[in-house]
Structure 1
């Protein structure tokens, strides 16, 4: 994960410098440019830190070695629920929540409730019923 870590670290530095330059050039009068750039730089730093820590824990992958073969990356990549409808439900909850931000705030609790139900359903999907372990 060295390449991914480097990409997000460079993105962090670029956004931080760009945000600082933007804030100085606008004399700190415009809050719609410099502050969001610095905040997105913080997000890039969080992702870079996560990838760096995960790369130290997991070790070298075939993608990290320049002379690795394709067959080294074959096999199981993780578990993905093939027939789950909960991500669609969560997407609809996000749509309702953003609709509340655009139209009326009284819709926000409805979207939050749908989101909580969808998240709980997705997390505990395999804990009950026919597919429980």
Structure 2
């Protein structure tokens, strides 16, 4: 994870340099600057910095993966990589209910947002508990 932390550190350093330059260039005119772009770049800088610290913190605590070691062989990375879930229809229903809620809020049709919230609770329950019943039960 040290390589990933380094990639995000480079992105953070780039954004630290670009954000003040962007603010300076846009504030040179009579318009007073582009505060939207400057704040977006500032938030992006903080986000990449947060990811850098997170990955760096966990890279220190975990043992190096085969791709992090210089003396690793290809066979060191062989074997089971983890559990990957099979197909599922529940994310589709969760997305459709979120769309229903947003549509209800955008049209100020509270009844539609409430219906979407109830269906969203059902879809979220199905998504969370799909491995407790049926074909893929554990």
Q: How many residues align?
A: 129
Post-superposition Cα deviations, 1:45-88, rounded to whole Å, max 9, x if no partner, equal 12112211222232201111123111111122221211322233
TM-score w.r.t. length of structure 1:
0.74
Structure 2 spans left out of the alignment, 5+ residues: none
Matches within 5 A, 1:1-133: 1-27=1-27, 29-92=33-96, 96=99, 100=103, 104=106, 106=108, 109=113, 113=117, 117-126=122-131, 128-130=132-134, 131-133=136-138
Q: Root-mean-square deviation (CA), in Å?
A: 3.1
From the CA coordinates, give the structure whose radius of gyration is larger.
Answer: 2
Question: Does 62-71 or 24-33 show the bigger shift?
Answer: 24-33
Q: Secondary structure at the match of 1:33?
A: helix
CA distance in 1, matches of 2:108, 2:17: 39
Change in CA separation of 1:121 and 1:46 when aligned onto 2, cut-off 3 Å? farther
Structure 1 spans left out of the alignment, 5+ residues: none
TM-score w.r.t. length of structure 2:
0.72
